[in-house]
Chains A and B, each alone.
Chain A
C-alpha cells in the first residue's frame, strides 16, 4: 500500500493522499474538475464549505447571488455559453428547495450542472431537524442523478461521478447533498476523475446500416427538411452539421434551443419552427417528403398537433438519447449516437444536391410572412415601439456578435425570431420549462463564462421582477451585462392568449410597475429609459458602448401580439399570420 502510494506521488500530483476535512475536499474536488466560478448562498448546513471557499478564494471564485434560484440560472447561463458544467451551492432546507426551479429547467433543457447542498448532520436525518428537507427525494424526478453523502470518504468519488454524469452523453443536472458531519470529518483525500460507470452508457452505439439508410433516403428526397435542436450545439457538431446541409443542399430550420448553431444569415437557414416560429418551415413541415430531425426531441411547442405533424414525410431522427426515439413522433430511421460522429460519418454517403425549386418555396413563403408580420415588427409605422425594432437595433449595433439571454414571454419569442447570430451558443433561453426569471441571472453566468463577449439580457417587465434582486449580484460583481427590459406593462404572452382565446378578459395580467430606472440606479447601475423611436438608436449605442453593466428600459406598445402563431392543439400548417 505504502509503495504504491509513493509511485503515484511521483507520477501524478492528484494521486497524493492528504488528510483533510470533507469540506476542504469538496473545494479541492471542484478545483480538480476545473471549476473556476460557482454560484451560491451560504447557510448553517453548508458553512464548513464556505469556510474553505474563503481560504481558497484566490483559486475559485464564489459568486453570492441574491437568491438560490438565481444561483442555478447563473450556473445554467455559464454552462450554456461555455459548454462547461455550471456549479451552484446552497444550504439545506430552504436553500436547497430554492434550487428546484433551476434544476428542473436544466433537466428539461439538458444543461450540465452540479448542485451541492448542505444537509443536517447524519444523526439528525429524519428527525425534522432545523432546516432539514429531503432534497434528494424532492429532486429525484428532475435530476439526471442525485446522491446523499454521509461520510467524508465518499466525497471524491461521488463528486467525480457527478461531473462525469452531468456533462457526458445527454447532459443534465446532478445534485449532491452532503451532511454537515461529513463536511467536518477528516479523511485521506485522493482524487481521480471518473471515466465510466458500468450501469451508464452515455453515448449509444451507432448502427452503420441506419446511417446508410438515412443517406439513401436523403439522397432520393425531393423535398427534404432538416429540423435541428440543441443536440448540434451540445455535441459540438456545428461544423459537421454545416458540411452536411451544404453538401446535400438541405433547407434547415431550428428549435429555439438549436438557434445559433449556424449563422442566422446562412443561406440554408430557413428559420425557426414551432408555435411562434417562421411561416415557411412550419407550413413546409407538412409538405416535405423527408424530415431529418437532428438533436431535437419533438417538443409539443415544436410539433403542434402530433396527429397532423409531417404525416406525409419519412422521418429520420439523429439522437443521442434512445428514450427520445419514437417518444412523440414515430421515426422511419433512427440514427442513434453522438451528432458530431454521426454527421461526420454521414457526409461521405451523401450526394451533392441543390434542391433549387424546393428552396424557392421557402423564399416565397418568407415573402408572405414579411409582408404580413415582419415588416410591421421591424419597420413599424405606428407610433408605439415594437419589441422587434429593439432587437433589430441591437443586431445592428452588436453586428450579430452578442449572446442574447432571454426571459420567457412575448419578448422571448421576438428575441428568438429576430436576433441575428454569427456564433454558436449565442441564444440562451429557457426552452422546455419556460421559466420566467431565468433571463437576468442566466446572463450573469453567461457574461462571467465569456467576459470577452457582449451579453444582452432581454426581459419582460413580468419575468424581470421574478429575479430582479440579481441586480445586486451584478452590482457587487461589476458583471458587465446589458439588461434590456421590454416593458409593455402586461404579462404580455398571457394577455395575448386572453385576447385571442378568452374574449379579452385580462385576468391578472395588467402590471402596475415601479420605476425600473430608479431601481437600477438604486443598485448604482447606469440606466436609461426609452419611450420614443428617436431615442432608441442612441440609447442602444450608449448601452453597447458601455464597459460597465447597463440597464435599458424600452417602453413598447402595450397590446402587441406575437405572430405567426400556431394555436395550441392546431397543426403546424394551420399557423396564423394574424
Chain B
C-alpha cells in the first residue's frame, strides 16, 4: 500500500532565511523527484515561513523525505497530507485583449459562469483572476484560449489542513 504513487501536499514551517529554498529543493532533486508545485509565504506565526509543495510519490518515499526535511536545522516542522485532508486552492491570472470583452459575447458568459473576477480593465486589455481547483482553472483556460490569451500565470497550490498542526505549541515550548 505504501508503494502506490499518490498526490501529497507537503507543508513545511521554517525560519525565514536565505538559502532555505535551495536546501529544501535539493532534498527532492537528489532523489530525482519532481516538485509539481511550490509556494512560499509567511505563515500564521510571526517570523515563520511556510512552504507548500505538491509531489507525486509513494507514501514510503514521502515519510523518508519528511524525515530529511525535519533534519534541516532551520526547518521547524514538516507535514504531508492527502487532498482529502486539506482545503486547497490555486490561483490564476489571465490577461486578455479588451476588444474581445465587448465583441465576443460568449466571453462574458464564460466569465460569469466561471465565477472569475475582473481585476482591471483598460483600453487595451483586461485582467481576470480565478481561484479554485486546478480543473476549474484548466477549464477556464481551455475556454478562453479559443479567443486568445495575451498572458497566463497560475500559482502553486496553497493549502490549510483540516486538522491542526500544533506548530505554535511547539514554538512556545522552546521559549521555556
Q: Which residues of A contact B (CB under 8 A)?
A: 136-137, 140-141, 144-148, 165, 196-200, 321-327
Docked Cα-Cα span, A147 to B73, in Å, equals 12
Which of chain B's residues have a CB closer than 8 A to the CB of A146? 19
Contacting A at CB under 8 A, from B143-176, are 171, 174-175
Q: Within the assembled complex, what's the spacing in Å between the Cα atoms of A200 and B23?
A: 15
- CB-contact partner of B76 in A199, A323, A325, under 8 A: A199
Knowing that A137-B19, A323-B71 touch, tell me 6 more A-B residue pairs with CB under 8 angstroms.
A140-B23, A141-B30, A323-B64, A323-B67, A323-B68, A325-B67
Listed by A's residue number, 13 A-B pairs whose Cβ atoms lie within 8 Å are A140-B22, A141-B23, A165-B73, A196-B174, A198-B76, A198-B171, A198-B175, A199-B15, A199-B74, A322-B67, A323-B70, A325-B67, A326-B64
State whether A326 and B19 are in contact (beta carbons under 8 Å apart), knowing that A197-B73, A199-B74, A199-B75 are contacts in the complex.
Answer: no
Min CB–CB distance A492 → chain B (angstroms): 31
Given A136-B19, A196-B174, decide whether A144 and B64 contact each other with a Cβ distance below 8 A. Answer: no
Q: Is B18 an interface residue (CB 8 A)?
A: yes
- Is A321 in contact with B71, judged by CB distance below 8 angstroms? yes
CB pair B63 A326 closer than 8 Å: yes
Shortest C-beta distance, A390 to chain B (Å), equals: 39
The reply to whether B174 and A148 contact each other, CB–CB distance below 8 Å, is no
Q: Which of B14, B23, B30, B75 has the most CB of A within 10 A?
A: B23
Chain B stretch 1-43: residues in CB contact (< 8 A) with chain A: 14-15, 17-19, 22-23, 26, 30
- Residues in chain A near residue B71, CB distance under 8 A: 321-323
Residues in B with CB closer than 8 Å to A326 are 63-64
Interface size class of B (residues with CB under 8 A): 20 to 34
Q: How far is the CB of A286 from chain B (nearest CB, A)?
A: 23
Q: Are B73 and A140 in contact (CB under 8 A)?
A: no
Structural contact, A148 and B18, CB atoms closer than 8 A: yes
Whole-angstrom distance from the CB of A434 to the nearest CB of chain B?
Answer: 18
Residues of A within 8 A of B26 (CB): 140-141
List which B53-87 residues lie within 8 A (CB) of chain A. 63-64, 67-68, 70-71, 73-76
CB of B73 within 8 A of CB of A199, answer yes
A109 to B35, CA, bound (A): 29
CB of A115, distance to nearest CB on chain B (Å): 16
User: When chains A and B are docked, how far (Å) is the Cα of A165 from the Cα of B174?
Assistant: 17
| Nearest CB on B from A162, distance (A) | 10
- What residues of A have a CB within 8 angstroms of the CB of B18 in the complex? 148
Kindly state the separation between the CA atoms of A110 and B105 in the bound complex, as whole angstroms: 67
A167 CB to closest chain B CB (Å) equals 13
Q: With the chains together, A17 CA to B2 CA distance in Å? A: 57
Asked if A145 and B73 sit within 8 Å, CB to CB, the answer is: yes
Residues A322 and B73 in contact, CB atoms below 8 Å apart:
no
Q: How far is the CB of B18 from chain A (nearest CB, A)?
A: 7
What B residues does A165 contact at CB under 8 A?
73
Q: Which residue of B14, B22, B174 contacts A137 across the interface (Cβ within 8 Å)?
A: B22
Complex: how many Å from CA A146 to CA B14?
15
Q: Taking the nearest CB of chain B, how far is it from the CB of A283, in angstroms?
A: 29
Chain A, Cβ-Cβ closest to B17: A147
CA distance A12 to B63 in the complex (A): 46
Give which listed residue, A137, A144, A321, contacts B73 with CB less than 8 A: A144
Q: Once bound together, how far apart are the Cα atoms of A324 and B67, in whole Å?
A: 8
B17 proximity list for chain A (CB < 8 A): 147
Q: What's the minimum C-beta distance from A343 to chain B, rounded to whole angstroms?
A: 23
Q: What are the 7 closest A-B residue pairs judged by CB atoms, nearest first? A: A323-B67, A198-B174, A199-B76, A141-B26, A145-B73, A200-B73, A323-B71
The distance from the CB of A562 to the nearest CB of chain B, in whole angstroms, is 31
A145–B72 CA distance with the chains assembled, in angstroms:
8
Closest chain B residue to A324, Cβ basis: B67
User: For residue B15, which residues in chain A have a CB less than 8 angstroms away from its CB?
Assistant: 199
Q: Is B19 in contact with A322, judged by CB distance below 8 angstroms?
A: no
A197 to B174, CA, bound (A): 8
Chain A nearest Cβ from B69, distance in angstroms: 9
A137, A141, A199 pick with most chain B CB within 10 angstroms? A199
The interface centre, meaning the residue of B18, B22, B75 with most chain A CB atoms within 10 A of its CB, is: B22
Chain B residues in 8 Å Cβ range of A141: 23, 26, 30
